[in-house]
Amino acid sequence: MNATVEAAQQQIELIARIFAETGITQLYKNLLRLVVQYQDKPRMVRLRNNWVQMDPRSWNADMDLTVDAALGTGTWEKRLQILAMVAEKQEQLLQTLGPNNPLVSLGQYSNTLHRMLEAAGYSDGERYFNRLPLDFQMPEPPQGQGGEDPTAALVEVQREEIQANIAKKQAELQLQQTETEARLTLDKEKMLRADDRERDRIEADAILRAAKEGIDPGPILELMRRNRAIEQQGYFQ
């Protein structure tokens, strides 16, 4: 079915090509000759959505012209697919080699975008993309003002990001270390309090036993307190 449709469209395009290369070509040659012969002053005409001044008095009335009937280019879907592939390749080259590379220019890329809109049926491509000359070149940045290498700028950004991540990790480790030290100090204090309570209980029991047996508890208590001071120093070292 696709082959049948394409064959019918190619036959229509062939008829249009024959009309273009015979009658239409001769018609516009005659129009050119009449304009050059009878227009005696400049006038403003609309050309590609721009108003320009036209003065044909200096033109050559025998100029040749060529008609492009787009014979053999297939359906508009195929033309759009081909233009999309061309645009993709142009984008890759512009991204890889830069806007001022020797293979494709921004003007050629702009022309491809306009051709895609025309193939899709949009005649007002200037509403979506500016039309640039085919040999358009990006101006060179002044020395010392934005002339840095994009790769170097990217490396600098990545380096700053790595440094920021390292600083963040260091801050997190410092916070964890502070929390650990505070938790250890709190645990030590809890242990000392528990030890104090236990020793107080032992001292009370010793005093009670010594009182029952008629023994002086002074030496026992002094020994227990001295051992407690030594142990507390060991906790905080």
Give the H or E element holding residue 163. helix 150-213
| 3-class secondary-structure state, position 222 | helix
Give me the domain span that covers residue 4.
1-71
Predicted confidence (pLDDT) per residue in 91-122, tens digit? 998 888 888 888 898 889 999 998 888 888 88
Select from 89, 110, 137 the last residue of a domain. 137
Is 155 found in the same domain as 227?
Answer: yes
Select from 43, 71, 99 the last residue of a domain. 71
HSE on the CB side for 133, CA within 13 Å?
Answer: 4
- Does 6 map to a domain? yes
Is 162 found in the same domain as 131?
Answer: no
Is 1 found in the same domain as 66?
Answer: yes
- Does 201 map to a domain? yes
Select from 55, 71, 87 the last residue of a domain. 71
- Does 143 map to a domain? no
Is 214 found in the same domain as 159?
Answer: yes
Mean pLDDT of 136-145: 68
Least confident of 10-14, 43-47, 65-69, 189-193: 65-69
236: tokens are: 């905080």
- Does 15 map to a domain? yes
Rg (CA), the chain: 46
pLDDT of residue 182 exceeding 80: yes
Is 157 found in the same domain as 131?
Answer: no
Number of structural domains found in the chain:
3
- Does 142 map to a domain? no
Is 63 found in the same domain as 90?
Answer: no
- Does 21 map to a domain? yes
210: tokens are: 């010594």
- Which stretch, 67-76, 91-100, 184-193, has highest mean pLDDT? 91-100
Is 54 found in the same domain as 31?
Answer: yes
Query: What does the pLDDT read at residue 230?
Result: 56
Determine the Cα–Cα distance for residues 195 and 15; give it in Å rounded to an integer: 110
